[in-house]
Amino acid sequence: MTTIKALNPKNQSKVNKAVNALLRYYELNNLRDNADGEGNERAYKKYNRMCEQAFDKYLNYLTDLPKREQANIEKQDN
């Protein structure tokens, strides 16, 4: 698991939640890509929906953070 240290310690739990949601999105995205590569349309639709939900959750957690923390997560994500 990737850990990102928050710039302000009081935001650490929110940063952790955002990072975990982003990691979940990446896992689901890999599953979606595999299903697409295999031509399994049913699994692709399932994982696509789950990807959308995971990314929405990530964005919700991100909006609860100050801009500096958002930039820190985005910078370290690359």
Residue 42 lies in a domain: yes
Q: What is the pLDDT of residues 16-74, one digit of tens each?
A: 999 999 999 999 999 999 999 998 999 999 999 999 999 999 999 999 999 999 999 99
Q: How confident is the model at residue 2 (pLDDT cuts 50, 70, 90)?
A: low
Residue 23 lies in a domain: yes
Give the domain range for residue 70. Answer: 13-77
Separation between Cα atoms, residue 64 and residue 45, nearest integer Å: 29
The answer to whether 4 and 19 have CB atoms below 8 angstroms apart is yes
Residue 7 lies in a domain: no
